[in-house]
């Protein structure tokens, strides 16, 4: 997934950009045919999180040239982020039959199999993916740990830590690996970490919650609910910029996520940006016109627009 280049990555967006799944399509020559035009449009729509539009364009490209593994790998990614695992898996598998060196497709297949509960298949895919990107060792270690292979998991985490930047999450994992203690802080499914994060939010532990939601997103990059809750955790910590980034990522993953639009509006409101807050509240009401707080939100929108003039 291509991210804006005109400003530094926020920590929220950085956590997703580190995942080897996101592989931009190669640059095209100035002279473009119909296939390349469809692929470029698909890439643009993908970066805009328009999964259906990206799928349509990439499918059009593949009808014209079924051999384009770059388009097929990105088609698999678009299906994955849309949440259509049954469609994503065969696209990644087709890519790998044609080009076993496609690290993005190998990693993407691992994510799909992991989410479908096929730990053996996910382990095989992640193990191969580590040859192309050592950060895939995190997912490999987690899957091995769930499989009961503590020694193999610790070895995989060592490979991850050797390549990862230092963060609070890596520090706690590093301590566990150094002492050989399992289960590690990375143990459990994406859902487990999400629930732990929610429990920490209830206890007003924003720092601990941030860590848990980051882990959930490493294991399941298309986890819109975890992005939204990550925003809540950052907001609890008083970091509105990171909170806004989390809410925006949740909305990119699921444009109909009404609660994320409302949370985004509240964060903009607290940051002192009334017009952006009003815009986010507008979208919330489009999605939830009969919400219990609809009348209150409409009054708030009017006041915010008045304050922004």
Q: Where are the domains of the chain?
A: 21-119, 256-309
Using the Cα atoms of residue 51, residue 74, residue 5 and residue 242 in order, give the sign of their dihedral.
positive
Mean pLDDT of 264-283: 96
pLDDT 10s digits, 192-245: 999 999 999 999 999 999 999 999 999 999 999 999 999 999 999 999 999 999
Listed as own residue / partner, the contacts of 221-226 with beta carbons closer than 8 Å and 24 or more positions apart are 221/16, 221/19, 221/21, 221/81, 221/111, 222/80, 222/81, 222/83, 222/253, 223/190, 223/194, 223/253, 224/250, 224/253, 224/254, 224/257, 224/260, 225/194, 225/250, 226/190, 226/193, 226/194, 226/197
Helices marked H in the chain — which ranges? 11-17, 34-47, 51-64, 69-82, 85-98, 103-115, 119-129, 137-147, 150-163, 168-179, 190-202, 206-219, 224-237, 240-253, 258-271, 274-287, 294-307
* Tokens linked to 180: 């050989």
Residue 8 half-sphere exposure toward CB, CA atoms < 13 A = 4
3-class DSSP string for 71-88: HHHHHHHHHHHHCCHHHH
Residue range 21-119 forms a domain whose CATH class is: mainly alpha
Highest mean pLDDT among 17-21, 102-106, 142-146: 142-146
Render pLDDT for 122-179 as a digit per residue (tens, 0 to 9).
Answer: 999 999 999 999 999 999 999 999 999 999 999 999 999 999 888 777 888 999 999 9
Closest CA to 189 of 214, 166, 162, 219: 219
């Amino acid at each position: 997934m291509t991210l804006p280049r005109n400003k530094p990555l926020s920590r929220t967006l950085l956590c997703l950009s580190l995942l080897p799944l996101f592989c931009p399509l190669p640059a095209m020559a100035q002279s473009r045919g119909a296939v390349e035009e469809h692929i470029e449009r698909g890439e643009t729509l993908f970066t805009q999180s328009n999964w259906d539009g990206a799928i349509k364009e990439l499918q059009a490209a593949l009808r014209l040239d079924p051999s384009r593994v770059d388009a097929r790998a990105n088609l698999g990614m678009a299906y994955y982020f849309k949440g259509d695992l049954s469609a994503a898996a065969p696209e990644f598998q087709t890519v790998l039959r044609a080009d076993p060196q496609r690290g993005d497709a190998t990693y993407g297949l691992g994510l799909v199999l992991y989410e479908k509960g096929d730990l053996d298949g996910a382990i095989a895919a992640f193990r191969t993916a580590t040859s192309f990107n050592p950060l895939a060792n995190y997912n490999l270690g987690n899957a091995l740990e769930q499989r009961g292979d503590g020694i193999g998991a610790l070895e995989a985490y060592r490979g991850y830590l050797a390549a990862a930047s230092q963060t609070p999450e890596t520090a706690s994992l590093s301590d566990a690996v150094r002492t050989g203690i399992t289960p590690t802080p990375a143990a459990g499914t994406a859902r487990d970490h999400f629930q732990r994060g929610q429990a920490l939010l209830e206890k007003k532990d924003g720092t601990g919650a941030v860590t848990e939601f980051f882990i959930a997103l490493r294991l399941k990059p298309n986890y819109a609910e975890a992005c939204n809750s990550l925003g809540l955790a950052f907001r609890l910590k008083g970091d509105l910029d990171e909170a806004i980034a989390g809410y925006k990522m949740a909305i990119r993953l699921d444009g109909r996520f009404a609660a994320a639009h409302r949370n985004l509006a509240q964060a903009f409101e607290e940051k002192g940006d009334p017009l952006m807050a009003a815009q986010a509240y507008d979208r919330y009401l489009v999605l939830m016109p009969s919400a219990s707080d609809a009348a209150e939100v409409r009054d708030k929108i009017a006041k915010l627009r008045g304050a922004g003039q």
